[in-house]
Structure 1
Amino acid sequence: MASWTSWTVAVLALVLSHGPLAISGTFGLLPNVSEAVHDIKAALGFIKAPPAVPSKHDQLKADLFPGKQTQPLPSPLGTYGPAYAYDLVRNGTSGGPFNPDPQIPSVTQETGRKLAETSSFAATSLQAKLQQATPLDAVVSTGSEVVYSGNNGTIDSTNFFLQFYFAVTNRAVTKFRLETGTYRVTNPNSNFNLLLTCQGVVRSAFELDFGGSTIIFQDGTLGGIFFNYCYNLTAHNATFYYDFSVNPWYQSTLDDISSDGRTWNITVQDGYPIDMVTANYQALCVGWDPDSRLPRTNASDIYPQQGLTTSLGGRSFQFKFGYNVVGFSKGDFVTCRGNRGNHGILPWYNKDSTFQDLTIYNSAIFGIYEETGSGNTYINNQVVPYPLPVGSGGLRERPLQSSLADGFHSSGSFKGPTLIRNYFTNMGDDGIAIHGRYYLVVGTDKDQGVIQVATLCGYPCERLFRGNSLLAYKSSTERLGFTKMLSVTLLPSNPLPAGTRSITFPYSNLDNSKYLNVTVECWPPAYDNLTFDSIVTSLDNQGNGFNLINNTISYNRGRGMLLKANDGIITGNQFIQTKFVAAQINPEFFFQEADFSSNLLIQGNIFDSFYGGIQLAFINDNPLLPGRFQNHANINITGNIIRSAADQPMLITSSTGIIVRDNIFDKVLCYPYTYGASLPFVPTPQPPIYLAYSSNLLFSGNSYIVPANCTYGDFANPIQTYQNTVTGLVIQ
């Protein structure tokens, strides 16, 4: 899942000019984006021993990075767990069932659950929707193009939905264009202000051109814009934001702090809503330096106690905390999430579509959220704060925050997304997150070939599909092997006694979960070890085959990138002063997000973070110890800059077949990290690189820039290991 930042024109200019580590040649200029992306996707595949003739993937990497070794070391058949299993099954050499080309379920496929969550709107017939629509919205058809111009600066959401749907289902129409202007959205009839659906109609190409328009959402309880089941769609050229009178978060000034830091008085700044400040929900806030307009980094996270916020009159309120909040001063600005709203831009079950030159200023959750996609591309999009002061009197300030949570978040995609030259800044959580889902095993019936699982949350967590692979683990993350799902059915009720708790997922309420019966094609012998608290996932929809190229993520409260997928290229990206780990590659049981990663190329990036540089790991929650099964495999970390990290510049655990070559550790471990304690198994003073439960690692050509004032790291012994748990370590 994920973690939140100031509008800086200088940074924006830096992003748009690609930055110092932008890739030259094919990927730096991207003269033909579709061709370049196609080449990347065609070249990506599971890394095998080098053949006599270089593969297309090897040739692509050789062209990108001449003179560099990019082939990871071979993974051994180790004793800590079959890190090689994914490759063997994928390549068909183990006899295990696997779907080599997983696809989004068709819109008509019976999956035992709904495929689009569109509230009562989805249940209404098209004829009824026509009657609801405003007839005055102007629509003109000219040849293969339909032009929509709204009505006096408004867009009727229902009318827009229908006109777009009629256009995309008409084979004679290839383009739907919004006349350039500024529009307010009215008459929403779904849980999003704008709902656009292609309903699985396959077009070889269809263009949705917003004409550079600014579109203002007027209902803060709803999401922004929803793209439903579109194939080969290109949607581009728009700016979206919520009217600040209904903004899904508020911005305030910190007026006073009690001596123990447990009571704050704040004043909500002019132009932001105050109706949700005292609502009974768990707020998460971010503190900002009012001068630099950047987030406070070496400071606590801010969680006011739920239900204890009180009004002091007018626009002033008081927070109570259950812990000592540190790192803030009177006069700081504070932004807090509200109790309403949804994602800004949501492509839902879209395939081979492109989203380009779209900007979202403020959203309640993720700026851009891809759910169950396949092969989609995102180019030159921005998740940034609104650039002008809001309000009409009092203290008028520019907003400091963009999305409340992640800038870009992809969950459950069958083919991973490609992101090129996007700019995400000042988010309340992570920059880029890509993952699948874990499911809790609650029971088995070997004779019937049935595994009963908890989804661990309501819809949309049901992302197991018949015909796809299933991978099982013990709760310790020891892999038990693969099988194939023959059917997935939703159980009508909870099969567990009320109040049942999980040790693997201790924060999940199993009473509120949904439950699935999964029938499998074969029962591997190791599945006899499946018990309550084991876990399963499907590697077919975890965002494998993703590409992150020349993106910039800056000044967010969370991680820079949080990856849990395979077969990825991460190159030419800049992560600027993220609060937490710049590049985190590990599954998280806390959020039930899967899985371990294999076959990644991480090259030519800047990872500049306050806490944590690159973390390739699995950390057990209780106690906080490294995972001992080597499930990350074949990962190349070459030619990057790791900068600033006050804690864990590079942490590698639970991995095999890793190359770390020609990276620069620039002024790391130069100041104390006072927000929280380091991981208890990491020694003090810390080395720049720490390894645990890993094998076959090559370190070569890495260098360290250590100013005289950098006294918090052990640079005399820059690579250290945990309790003799590392084998096959080569340092050149």
Structure 2
Amino acid sequence: MGIFLTGCREGNEGHSEGNSPSAISLTEQSADLRTLISDELAAGNKRIVIPPGRYRVQAEKGEHLVFKDLKNVEIIAYDVELVCTSTVRALLFDQCSDVTIRGLKIDYDPLPFTQGTIVSMAEDKSSMVFKVAAGYPEHELIERIQIYDPGTAELRRDDASWDQQIEPLGESRYRVRKKGNYRFNPERDTEQIGDILVTNNAKGTPGPPHAVDLRDCKNMRLEDITLHASPCFGFLEKGCDGSIYRGCRVVRRDPRHDPVQRALPRMRSLNADAFHSKDAGKGPAIVACTAHHQGDDAVNINGEYHYVASSQGRDLRIVVISKLRFRPGDPVEFLPHSGPRPPDAVVTGIRPASTPLTDGERALLNEQRMDNDTKTRMLSSKARILTLTLDREVNLPPASAVCCPLRVGNGFSVTDCDFGHNRSRGILIKASKGEVVRNRIIGSRMAAVLIRPEFWWLEGGLPCDIEVSDNTIKGSLQTPIQILAIGGNNRPLPAGALRNISIVNNRIEDCAWPLIRVTSAKNLTIEGNTLPDRPKGQSTGPDGKAIEPIVLEYCEP
């Protein structure tokens, strides 16, 4: 039996703040939102409609709202704003199934980032002083620095390498420095006095940093959720199956509707990825969603690789630094360090290895190009060394990687979305059997669509059966569509590592050349794409050869 609360209205008319001056003004509510929802769930109600208004929630044990083991519940929250008062997770859904949440808006006070104006800098731009603008927090400032042009409210430059220390100088002034190996580059170091510097801010008891977090959930449906801030990712799911995100928005808040008066409008929406899916059974459907001005990728769908220290016959010695992603009977997908991709195998046994990493295995691991924190964890005493036994012998070089294709987000869909204006990628995919269709990706400074495994982060797998079609891409400063299979040696793998890739009817404007790059593919279709003329100054590459609009490496029909 459903529930109706006085003063609520169903539907979604008038709920979206966006940039509309006609957005409704929310009333500050004194009711305890946690108690309100808990009481309805305790009463057995499966449909809960939350009264409109702005609800400030105090974190408990590093969390704001936690839902565990919910089944077949619908939460309607149009014209409802959750204000998080600590820079920790806003919502956790843990082991829930068939739950729908609609209409909620999430913001933070204090914000998980701060910003201010650059007031001075060294002649070579190796250090600079910024003054935090009125209305922005300065609790614990953490290096995640981005610099914006105040005239355009867009990023002034790409990333720089900054020291972790942010030095307080008093009177809301702080000094930041670039790392010791910095050398001035006039093409990159374009920041100016008067630009706006943004970096992270932390407040309250530490806790998980992602705004909306789904753990081991099934058939979740999130509709019309708006995020104006997050300490890290906006929407994160781990170990989920069949999630749907429809009409969700990651956008910086319009100052006309910000309940806190600030001397500068917000430059950033949230601090890292907008939508991040890890280890999903069936990958998420991200439909008609928006993600602008976040600190990292708009979408990242991936699973986890385990590093292969050595291989002999049917046995692989793997290094596990978190949760083991395999069970007996699971398929095994291989990312070779070099050479052809072996056909998938099947796990027949898992057991602790009889010996720790040998000196030779440790030396080889130390040589690998990968994230230093990940490498340090693998070399620590906390890492587990396991033997993975397969149903057949595999010729796999050491320093390869393996993943379970049942847990990488296969079957995903990213359609009809609007992404961009961010420092990194638009859509980053490592899964298979999916589609990237009818999206608009404007101003992502790296690739607009990047489909590849990443040995650097140990994120897999090797994508196959992918459609990239009818997308509009503009303003990428790197090759906008890239579909790559790069081995652990950082070189393209032979043809066949990727299969059944379709790049059709995309429209690309004002992007860096080449416009499409594909490596290592068999059964590749590229047709019907609208590509611009070569821009001035990009006629040849570093090797002196003419740059072509489409570059294929190690590809076969």
TM-score higher than 0.5: yes
Deviation, structure 1 residue 343: 0.9
Conserved 8 A contact 2:449-2:481? yes
1:371 aligned partner: 238
1:583 and 2:444 aligned: no
Task: Give, in whole Å, the separation in 2 of the partners of 1:444 and 1:410.
Answer: 30
2:254 aligned partner: 387
Task: Give, in whole Å, the separation in 1 of the partners of 2:444 and 2:521.
Answer: 25
2:130 aligned partner: 266
Task: Give, in whole Å, the separation in 2 of the partners of 1:223 and 1:606.
Answer: 33
RCO higher in structure (CA 8 A, sep ≥6): 1
2:149 aligned partner: 289
1:557-706 equivalences under 5 Å are: 557-608=423-474, 609-619=476-486, 625-667=491-533, 669-670=535-536, 684-696=545-557
Task: Give, in whole Å, the separation in 1 of the partners of 2:47 and 2:329.
Answer: 35
Change (3 A) 1:514 1:571: same
Task: Give, in whole Å, the separation in 1 of the partners of 2:51 and 2:349.
Answer: 47
| Secondary structure in 1 matching 2:406 | helix
Pick aligned residue for 1:326 from 189, 208, 217: 189
Change (3 A) 1:607 1:488: farther
Q: How many residues align?
A: 519
| Secondary structure in 2 matching 1:694 | coil
Output the amino acid matched with 2:407: N
Task: Give, in whole Å, the separation in 2 of the partners of 1:491 and 1:523.
Answer: 18
Task: Give, in whole Å, the separation in 2 of the partners of 1:679 and 1:532.
Answer: 33
Task: Give, in whole Å, the separation in 1 of the partners of 2:418 and 2:339.
Answer: 33
1:253 and 2:117 aligned: yes
1:181 and 2:46 aligned: no
Conserved 8 A contact 1:164-1:196? no
Task: Give, in whole Å, the separation in 2 of the partners of 1:477 and 1:580.
Answer: 28
What do residues 189-216 of structure 1 show as CA deviations (whole Å, max 9, x unaligned)?
3x33111112xx6x4x431222431110
1:186-205 equivalences under 5 Å are: 186-189=58-61, 191-198=62-69, 203=71, 205=72
Change (3 A) 1:473 1:554: closer
Deviation, structure 1 residue 423: 0.6
1:124 aligned partner: none
Where structure 1 has 5 or more consecutive residues not aligned to the other structure, the ranges are 1-142, 697-732
Conserved 8 A contact 1:669-1:688? no
Task: Give, in whole Å, the separation in 2 of the partners of 1:575 and 1:285.
Answer: 23
Conserved 8 A contact 2:317-2:353? no
Pick aligned residue for 1:511 from 376, 379, 392: 379
| Secondary structure in 1 matching 2:189 | coil
1:48 aligned partner: none
| Secondary structure in 1 matching 2:217 | coil
Task: Give, in whole Å, the separation in 1 of the partners of 2:269 and 2:356.
Answer: 39
What do residues 331-368 of structure 1 show as CA deviations (whole Å, max 9, x unaligned)?
11121134676111112212122110101111111111
Output the amino acid matched with 2:391: W
Deviation, structure 1 residue 391: 9.1
1:552 and 2:421 aligned: no
1:481 and 2:343 aligned: yes
1:713 aligned partner: none
Task: Give, in whole Å, the separation in 2 of the partners of 1:208 and 1:392.
Answer: 27
What do residues 632-683 of structure 1 show as CA deviations (whole Å, max 9, x unaligned)?
111111111112112431111111111111101135534669xxxx9867x5
What do residues 265-313 of structure 1 show as CA deviations (whole Å, max 9, x unaligned)?
1111122222323x6xxx23221110111112xx341332123x32222
1:340-489 equivalences under 5 Å are: 342-388=209-255, 396-443=263-310, 451-455=316-320, 457=321, 459=322, 462-476=324-338, 478-486=340-348
Output the amino acid matched with 1:327: T
What do residues 216-248 of structure 1 show as CA deviations (whole Å, max 9, x unaligned)?
00111x2111111111111111101111x2x22
Output the amino acid matched with 1:260: D
| Secondary structure in 1 matching 2:492 | coil
Change (3 A) 1:627 1:532: closer
Task: Give, in whole Å, the separation in 1 of the partners of 2:55 and 2:193.
Answer: 39
Deviation, structure 1 residue 160: 5.8
TM-score by length of 1: 0.65
Output the amino acid matched with 1:413: A
Output the amino acid matched with 1:453: I
Conserved 8 A contact 2:399-2:488? no
Pick aligned residue for 2:163 from 305, 311, 319: 305
Pick aligned residue for 2:401 from 519, 530, 535: 535
Task: Give, in whole Å, the separation in 1 of the partners of 2:259 and 2:178.
Answer: 29
Deviation, structure 1 residue 583: 0.8
Conserved 8 A contact 1:505-1:592? no
Conserved 8 A contact 1:488-1:516? no
1:61-210 equivalences under 5 Å are: 143-145=1-3, 153-155=30-32, 157=34, 159=35, 162-163=38-39, 166=42, 170=44, 173-189=45-61, 191-198=62-69, 203=71, 205-210=72-77
Conserved 8 A contact 1:504-1:589? no
TM-score by length of 2: 0.85
1:335 aligned partner: 198
Deviation, structure 1 residue 531: 5.6
Output the amino acid matched with 1:193: H
Output the amino acid matched with 2:289: N
| Secondary structure in 1 matching 2:255 | coil
Task: Give, in whole Å, the separation in 1 of the partners of 2:123 and 2:488.
Answer: 32
1:525 and 2:393 aligned: yes
Task: Give, in whole Å, the separation in 2 of the partners of 1:503 and 1:164.
Answer: 56
Deviation, structure 1 residue 161: 7.0
Conserved 8 A contact 2:336-2:488? no
Conserved 8 A contact 1:561-1:584? yes
2:16 aligned partner: none
Conserved 8 A contact 2:347-2:391? no
Conserved 8 A contact 1:481-1:524? no
Q: Over aligned residue pairs, what C-alpha RMSD do you find? A: 3.1
Conserved 8 A contact 1:154-1:185? no
Change (3 A) 1:156 1:452: farther
Output the amino acid matched with 1:534: S
Output the amino acid matched with 1:175: R
Output the amino acid matched with 2:470: G
2:17 aligned partner: none
Task: Give, in whole Å, the separation in 2 of the partners of 1:335 and 1:615.
Answer: 29
Task: Give, in whole Å, the separation in 2 of the partners of 1:531 and 1:630.
Answer: 17
| Secondary structure in 2 matching 1:612 | coil
Conserved 8 A contact 1:491-1:514? no
Conserved 8 A contact 1:491-1:516? yes
Change (3 A) 1:660 1:472: closer
Change (3 A) 1:402 1:392: closer
What do residues 436-481 of structure 1 show as CA deviations (whole Å, max 9, x unaligned)?
11111235676xx6544223x4x4x543344422223431163233
Where structure 2 has 5 or more consecutive residues not aligned to the other structure, the ranges are 9-27
Change (3 A) 1:493 1:587: same
| Secondary structure in 2 matching 1:570 | strand
Task: Give, in whole Å, the separation in 2 of the partners of 1:492 and 1:404.
Answer: 43
Task: Give, in whole Å, the separation in 1 of the partners of 2:259 and 2:105.
Answer: 20
Conserved 8 A contact 1:165-1:196? no
Conserved 8 A contact 1:154-1:186? no
Task: Give, in whole Å, the separation in 1 of the partners of 2:508 and 2:430.
Answer: 20
Change (3 A) 1:616 1:666: same
Conserved 8 A contact 1:438-1:536? yes
